[in-house]
Amino acid sequence: MMKLHAFVAMPFGIKHDEAGFTVDFTRVYHELIKPALENACLEVIRADEERSAGDIREDMFQELLMADLVLVDLSIDNPNVWYELGVRHALKAGGVILVQGPRKTKPFDVYTDRKYTYHLKEGLPDPAYLTKDMTEITRIAVLILKEKFKRIVSPVYSLLPNLMEPSWKDLKIGNAKKFWARYDDWARRVGLARSKGFPEDILVLASEPPVTALRVEAIVKAGKSLLECKLYKFALEQFEIAFLFEPDNMKINHYRIICLQRLGCSDAAQAICHAILHEYPEDAETWARMGKVEKDVWLRIWDRPGATIEQRLEDACYEDAYLMKAIKSYYTAFKLSPFHYYSGVNAVTLISLYHHLTGRETPWSKDLEIMLKAIEWSANCENYSYWSKATLAELTLLKGSPMQVATAFKDAIAHAENDWFALDATLSQLKMLERLNFHSENVKSAIYVFERAFSRMDSPDKKWRPSRTFLFSGHRVDSPQTTSPRFPSDKVNIAAIAIEKALEQIGANENDLALTQGAAGGDILFAETALKRNMRVQFLQPFSEPEFIEKSILPSIEGEQWRKRYLKVRSHHLCLDVRTMPESLGPLPKNLSGVEANPYERCNRWLLNSALIYGIEHVQFICLWNGSNGNGPGGTAYMYNEVQKRTGNIIWLNTRDLW
């Protein structure tokens, strides 16, 4: 996982302090500040490390504006350092830590700001206090990162409480090419993963941008992809993570509401709506989300499985108070924003439905004709999107003929760009109207058009989904050069029997999916056993397949035999296409020093996310492992700990007990 990013603004080289003594700020940076921030799991860069082709000032400014944390050393009154602090304070409300060496005077503008004074001896970090100073700077950095989005540090934002931070996209410096080249490549890969319908890929990429703003964007995209796949619980988890970073982001909050509404958590969804409207009472989109939640509450009351049309009509009419609440919210949204035609068409449809059910008028019925014309005008102002076309079609449903309705909805579908999620939302509304016998001929005509459209599309419901996902990690068979045996070749049969017993114990079957890399030893044994039980098998590998075979299969004892076994599994009809990181996720990300990420750690995260997208409660982890941490973040220990954080469904085949 890529680290968050810290930018250090401080003097360079040897300078004189206010008492005339020399201070070696290069030594202070390398011996104290940089390691202290690295201990806080930050990637650290200083302005003089940004020397590259192009304008150093532009690259430096981009880092200064986008960094998750900026540490400013105020040991001396250096104009460049003060200027950089001022720029950061002007454009960001938080994420700043102040440090200084010993000095008699304190700058009045930051006199009350929290800062730390480190110790010097003869112009260098004092060895007697180095550990203490480093620990304290690390502690403060961790604390500030945690409260970055809650505590305002900038005096600019403190004195101007209504001032809003500019979006990170508005802080793009065009000539900071190195920074944005990395972003453009990353964004392209996120878009490709989303278009291909692989939210697990997006989740990996979301953890790799070195700046929080980019990471939040990727997490939101992953959440949207999961939402479109109807994985509402896992989608909600992503939006909750994004919310921690940007609690005031309206779009993130609205996605939280959508997920909760789809999960049937109406109270929680309404609580978020009320919290937003308390702060922003004129936010039309939130009023619209409130209307949708209230409409679903009403719908769940009367739309019971097995109920007759008479029962549904009676119950829907009796619970009219809930319907009135939904109408009021939609009406309020449209009144606040006449361009919010989605709210308007929902309001007029529900007003008409109320009259259909009860024979009575609503307090808003008198405005119906005016609203119909206003909605039509508003939707025609955006006469190119699916939602504007679908709105016009729904208006036709209220007042036109079946043929006119069919024509209008066909026009809308032609603008949908195969957006299954959007089409499904409209069809759900039409089927709700059908169950209440509302404008029955027009509704049937519209539903027929949608069913014809869906027959040409692949829906998330048509995609095979496993009942359970079995994730495996374990030791490879030792190589001839292994000095400390972990998986001797003469123990293969023992391991195979243990894996078979584990899958038998939990009843793995043809409805389940087996995920692993495919290395010689435990991985291949697991895949072979899974196929015997008619499970589907998916290999996810950190390298191209030929390179993976070269690195993870052939070096083992009897490597050629393992290669043949691997190829046999791979050719089985229940083995899905092999996915490799270079092809699916692109090259390994690099930090600012050009060091590549650990491919095995990245692949572990990829495997884990590929299992989690089918539901945390459905993940079962099996490991063949001796309990050691020898392989670092890319080994079985790492995977074991990551799974343990999320679910207790772990079967540990401890090789110390097996042999």
Note the pLDDT tens digit of each residue in 549-560.
Answer: 999 999 999 999
- 3-state secondary structure (DSSP) of residue 96: strand
Burial of 393 (0-12, 13-18, 19+ CB in 10 A): buried
- C-alpha distances in Å from residue 204, one per residue of 189, 302, 517, 561, 602: 11, 42, 16, 33, 7
Looking at residue 68, its pLDDT comes to 87
Looking at residue 227, its pLDDT comes to 87
**Alpha-carbon span 519 to 634, nearest angstrom:** 14
User: Average pLDDT in the 458-465 region?
Assistant: 72
Residues 6+ apart with CB under 8 A from 8: 29, 33, 34, 37, 44, 45, 46, 47, 70, 71, 72, 73
Q: Using the 8-state DSSP alphabet, how is residue 167 labeled?
A: P
Looking at residue 462, its pLDDT comes to 66
For residue 168, is pLDDT > 80?
A: no
For the chain, the distance separating the N- and C-terminal CA atoms, rounded to the nearest angstrom, is 34
**Alpha-carbon span 15 to 539, nearest angstrom:** 57
Single-letter amino acid, residue 581: M
Looking at residue 151, its pLDDT comes to 74
Query: pTM for the complete prediction?
Result: 0.78
* Confidence band of 542 (pLDDT split at 50, 70, 90): very high
* C-beta separation of 563 from 552 below 8 A: no
* Confidence band of 614 (pLDDT split at 50, 70, 90): confident
Residues 6+ apart with CB under 8 A from 76: 11, 15, 16, 17, 18, 23, 103
For residue 618, give the nearest of 455, 511, 514, 470 by alpha carbon.
Answer: 470
* Confidence band of 55 (pLDDT split at 50, 70, 90): very low
- 3-state secondary structure (DSSP) of residue 472: strand
**H/E element holding 62?**
helix 56-66
Query: How many CB atoms neighbour CB 159 within 10 A?
Result: 9
Looking at residue 52, its pLDDT comes to 46
**Alpha-carbon span 308 to 225, nearest angstrom:** 36
For residue 54, is pLDDT > 50?
A: no
Q: What residue ranges define each of the domains in the chain, with the CATH number in brackets?
A: 4-161 (3.40.50.450), 469-658 (3.40.50.450)
Strand 120-121 to strand 124-125: parallel, antiparallel, or no bridges (unpaired)? antiparallel
Helices (H), 249-340: 250-262, 266-279, 284-302, 309-318, 320-336
Q: Which residue has the higher pLDDT, 463 or 113?
A: 463
Torsion sign (Cα): 593, 598, 603, 605: negative
Burial of 631 (0-12, 13-18, 19+ CB in 10 A): middle
* C-beta separation of 212 from 4 below 8 A: yes
- C-alpha distances in Å from residue 386, one per residue of 289, 411, 416: 19, 9, 5
For residue 144, is pLDDT > 80?
A: yes
For residue 24, is pLDDT > 80?
A: yes
